[in-house]
Structure 1
Amino acid sequence: MEQWIESNGVRLWCETRGNPADPAILLVMGLGAQGTAWPEDLCEMLRGEGHYVVRYDNRDTGLSERVDYEARPYTLTDLADDAVGLLDGLGIETAHVVGASMGGMIAQEIALEHPGRVRTLTAVMSIVAAIDPETSTIRGSERDPRLLEWDARQAADPPITEEQHIQARVDLARILTGSLTPFDETATRRIIARESARAGDTTHTMRNHILAVTASRDRSELVGSITAPTLVIHGTEDPMAPFEQGRALAAAIPGSVLVPIEGMGHTMPTLALPLIASAILQHTNRAGL
């Protein structure tokens, strides 16, 4: 069911599926990505095993409210507060929080700032290290040369038309795809075109989310206090957040479990979805919550 929730001063779009009486799983998507980027099959796998699944658009994303960052600057902590306000609006006291990429960073902030609301924490292809505001790179990692080249192309010849924006995103998706599955350009283009039609130009979203990430605090010395049972899922061929970053995140949170997925990049390909769903479900079941 689709609905809009007023949360933390912004209006957020969300979709719920399953029985509200079942344990909730809150899916938090990453930088510039809409809640609908959570694969339908993954959502159904989680719902089918007795969970109330919630996915939503972060502020500035998809159908959620867009804001003027200069007038109303925000950080990942504010996005965490948005998520908790969404839970309030849905009448959900606690949830298993699953975040992908920047969503995993938001999930960490939820666990830090609102520990009583988090049953378990799962971070998929995410990091704990700070982002250098000058270079927008992860501290401790070299930026993949293919991403540097892509950045340079966008700066030298910024996309203008809708087709150019779509092509730029297709080119990026090709880089982010690991060897687990062949890159499917036709399917990728179809997904990107559908998202573009749903939300329009994503330039505003990307800009604001990058500003929010670089303005956010370094969590490296903070996440050690997270008490929620934590799972880290990370692809071994991730060019955006190298696997070493996933290993570092797991090492920083006491008692966390690291599940590597061989050949997965910075995407959730269809072939990996059963592995991801199984790891999440085993994690939530192991916690007994």
Structure 2
Amino acid sequence: MEHFIDVAPGVRLWAEERGAAGAPPLLLIMGAQASGTGWPEELVDALAVHHRVIRYDHRDTGRSTWAFDERPYPVTALADDAIAVLDGLGVARAHVVGLSLGGMLAQLLIADHPGRLLSATLMGTCALSTTPYTRPDGTPGELPGIAPEVLEMWSRPVEDRGAEAELERRVEHWRVLAGGLLPFDAEYFRALERRIIAHTGHYRAGTAHGRADDSGMLRTAALAATDVPVLVTSAPAEPVFPPPHARHLAQAVRGARVVEIPGMGHALPREVHGPLAAAILAHTAGRRS
């Protein structure tokens, strides 16, 4: 079932529900510049066996309002949008699953709206905390940065060279984000992006989230004191926030536990759908009301 939800003056978001209406709600929060249809159908279906799964398009993605140039907003507004989506669908409390920027937005929800969350799963993200990272041997450590090949691709200007060229740019982006431990299925990601472009109605690449003000996002004290049950996925091939970031999240977020998804990078290929769904469902089990 599809919806359009007014979340702010002049801002309307597309959302979709899947699964039994009476099942415990689970909100999927995508990463920067990513449509909600970036969540693979197979993964959504697996989660919908036990949940009322809600996915939505951020502002300036998919079928939601594209108006950053006329009405700029900070990144924190995207977390407010997530709460507005729940409000618009009459959901008092939900499990949340956030990927990349979505994982940061989920942390803002943990800190600022803990009463609205049944649990949270954080994927491919970093801690919104000044808590120092401690290596497994107990010594202080530094967190690794983004892989050079990712930075190089992100540094390239995105030019309109037509629909097929944009499609191939996106596939190459997924190749770099996948991390290289699993075989890369270009046709799978090409089909995914074709669905996203068809859903959006155009192939224009968004840039709003990269230009939005990202200040005021640290939540060190609130994350260290939370009672929200938190699962952190560790991806061994992760090129954006390599595995020490998952361990750091578990150190920064009270009670968080870590589960490794074999072969996973910063993408969601077929091979990770089963293990990822199993990890999320095991985390939400017993917390479904």
What TM-score results when the alignment is normalised by the length of structure 1? 0.88
Partner Cα distance (1:64, 1:287) in 2: 31
Change (3 A) 1:230 1:164: same
SS in 2 for 1:214: coil
Give the aligned partner of residue 210 of structure 2. Answer: 210
Give the aligned partner of residue 117 of structure 2. Answer: 118
Does the 8 A contact of 2:79 with 2:108 survive in 1? yes
Q: CA deviation at 1:221?
A: 4.9
Change (3 A) 1:277 1:4: same
Q: CA deviation at 1:220?
A: 4.3
Partner Cα distance (2:213, 2:233) in 1: 21
Give CA-to-partner distance per residue, 1:99-134, whole Å, 9 cap, x none.
11111111111121211111101111111258xxxx
Give CA-to-partner distance per residue, 1:162-193, whole Å, 9 cap, x none.
22222221111111113453111122222223
1:149 paired with 2:157, answer: no
Q: CA deviation at 1:20?
A: 1.9
Give the aligned partner of residue 31 of structure 1. Answer: 32
Q: CA deviation at 1:48?
A: 1.1
Partner Cα distance (2:151, 2:39) in 1: 26
Structure 1 gaps, min length 5: 131-138
What TM-score results when the alignment is normalised by the length of structure 2? 0.88
Give CA-to-partner distance per residue, 1:191-227, whole Å, 9 cap, x none.
2233223322443x2x211123634523345421332
Give the aligned partner of residue 270 of structure 1. Answer: 270
Sequence identity (%): 38
Partner Cα distance (2:213, 2:220) in 1: 14
Q: Which amino acid is the alignment partner of residue 72 of structure 1?
A: R
Partner Cα distance (1:63, 1:192) in 2: 15
Give the aligned partner of residue 67 of structure 1. Answer: 67
Give the aligned partner of residue 87 of structure 1. Answer: 86
Does the 8 A contact of 2:24 with 2:288 survive in 1? no
Q: CA deviation at 1:274?
A: 1.3
Partner Cα distance (2:284, 2:143) in 1: 31
After the TM superposition, list the runs of 4 or more consecutive aligned residues in structure 1 that deviate by more than 3 angstroms: 213-216, 219-222, 286-289
* Counterpart mapping for 1:1-289 below 5 A: 1-9=1-9, 10-49=11-50, 51-69=51-69, 71-129=70-128, 140-152=143-155, 154-155=156-157, 158-199=159-200, 200-203=202-205, 205=206, 207-212=207-212, 214-287=214-287, 289=289
Partner Cα distance (2:111, 2:147) in 1: 30
Does the 8 A contact of 1:129 with 1:245 survive in 2? no
Q: Which amino acid is the alignment partner of residue 144 of structure 2?
A: S
Q: Which amino acid is the alignment partner of residue 77 of structure 1?
A: T
Give CA-to-partner distance per residue, 1:58-88, whole Å, 9 cap, x none.
111100111234x433233211111111111
Q: CA deviation at 1:277?
A: 0.9
Change (3 A) 1:30 1:283: same
The alignment of Structure 1 onto Structure 2 pairs a total of residues equal to 275
Partner Cα distance (1:72, 1:225) in 2: 35
More helix by share: 1
Change (3 A) 1:216 1:197: farther
Structure 2 gaps, min length 5: 130-141
